[in-house]
A and B are shown apart, each in its own frame.
Chain A
């Protein structure tokens, strides 16, 4: 399941709703991405996430479908927020439920790695020197590439 919206999400409520009544599940792994208050030695007052409506949902759906091809999963959820977010606010939630923990851990890491390099979001940070677009990290590309050969 994919959701893209401005509003915050409740991690516990989302997990409960996703997995309710599914007794094949033996393990649930979640990742929550949060806004930091510093980047590259500068204080970050807030950040604004811009995205490409339509393509965002399409790409997240493709990434989720790819995870479900690679691992046997019972349930999956990706929520990504956009708009202005302050330090400490949640940005993204990935939840994976599977019969066994290994599939859940691996699929969750795969989804986070791939969405960072494929989902069309861009971060604009507010710093003391003015607004600044976040540059893509080569480490994110390397992390995503780990999964290509599989």
Chain B
């Protein structure tokens, strides 16, 4: 699975992009966030407030209960501020 991070989430986590092996027990976006938080202090800090984390799977916004699969592109980012 390809993971992308943007804006202050990228800065806090310290990387823009990585490829991971999706653990078998991670079935939804919500599971994925919980799993990521356990990967280390940078992830725990960046993802501590889920209310300011938006998630896109294959470039579409999705809710926490959306399924994730090994070939997905999953992006995590803060609320957008363009325009």
> What is the distance, in angstroms, from B45's C-beta to the closest C-beta of chain A?
15
Interface centre among B4, B59, B75 (most CB of A within 10 A): B59
Chain A residues with Cβ under 8 A from B7's Cβ?
50, 122, 124, 133
Q: How many A-B residue pairs have CB under 8 A?
A: 71
B59 touches A115 (CB 8 A): no
Q: What is the interface size of chain B, counting residues whose CB is below 8 A from a CB of the partner?
A: 16
Which residue of A has the minimal Cβ distance to B75? A52
B4 touches A52 (CB 8 A): yes
Q: What is the interface size of chain A, counting residues whose CB is below 8 A from a CB of the partner?
A: 29
The answer to whether residues A92 and B75 also contact, given A50-B6, A55-B56, A124-B7 and a CB cut-off of 8 A, is no
Which residue of A has the minimal Cβ distance to B10? A50
A52 touches B56 (CB 8 A): yes
Please report the C-alpha to C-alpha distance between residue A120 and residue B79 in the assembled complex, in whole angstroms.
Answer: 8
Interface centre among A33, A58, A121 (most CB of B within 10 A): A121
Please report the C-alpha to C-alpha distance between residue A134 and residue B75 in the assembled complex, in whole angstroms.
Answer: 19
Q: Which of A97-124 contact B (CB under 8 A)?
A: 112, 115-124
Residues of A bordering B, CB below 8 Å: 33, 49-52, 54-55, 58-59, 80, 91-92, 112, 115-124, 133-137, 140
